[in-house]
Amino acid sequence: MVSDTPVLAFDTSAAHCAVALLWGGRIIAQVEDMGRGQAERLMPLVQELLDGEGVALSAIGRIGVGIGPGNFTGIRISVSLARGLALGLGVPAVGVSTLDALRGFSTIDAAAVAGPRETAYVQTGQATPKILPLEDVPEGAEWLNDAGVLVGSIARLAQTAPVDGPAPAPLYLKPADAAPARDAPPVILE
């Protein structure tokens, strides 16, 4: 489906900041590899892409966002921006699983994203995504290797997705593994 209404998509679920514009059947993507700093860089990167294509933010008709699985904080950054922009612009925002986006441009029915501690987030067919040890990932699975292709796939899937569902929300396969500091609290002098 080719549409004259621009679709904006972005993803920060891994060590990248990726944005794409789908407009008139064409995808324009920009990616910056980064382990940190996505919160500060995402909106300027969106604006740079739109300015480079001569598209006003107010012209965006739909927003697609990668909802993970992946980096806990990175996912929250993208989902927050998508929900805020959608609310401010009065347009729908669509959450797209990283695993669905990977399978969206591939003929392979299994997708995998590297996880922490020698694991991967894996989905095969329509099964529920799960965390597996690397050695148990199905052979030939489509891996996240190109954030530009990934964010382009997010844009395409968002363009055709129904918009009557809930607002995008992070897809977490496990709870956050952050722990309180183990240091002793400071001594308070009176």
Please report, in tens digits, the pLDDT of each residue of the chain (190 residues total): 446 799 999 999 999 999 999 999 999 999 999 999 999 999 999 999 999 999 999 999 999 999 999 998 999 999 999 999 999 999 999 999 999 999 988 888 899 999 999 999 999 988 999 999 999 999 999 999 999 999 999 999 999 999 888 899 999 888 766 667 777 777 888 7
In the chain, where the domains are located:
7-107+146-160
CA quadruple 108, 125, 65, 155: dihedral sign: positive
Closest CA to 18 of 146, 158, 161: 146
How far is Cα of residue 106 from the mean position of the Cα atoms in its chain?
A: 17
DSSP 141: P
- Can you identify the CATH homologous superfamily of domain 7-107+146-160? ATPase, nucleotide binding domain (3.30.420.40)
**What does the H/E/C string look like for 54-70?**
CCCHHHCCEEEEECCCC
Q: How much is the pLDDT for 2?
A: 47
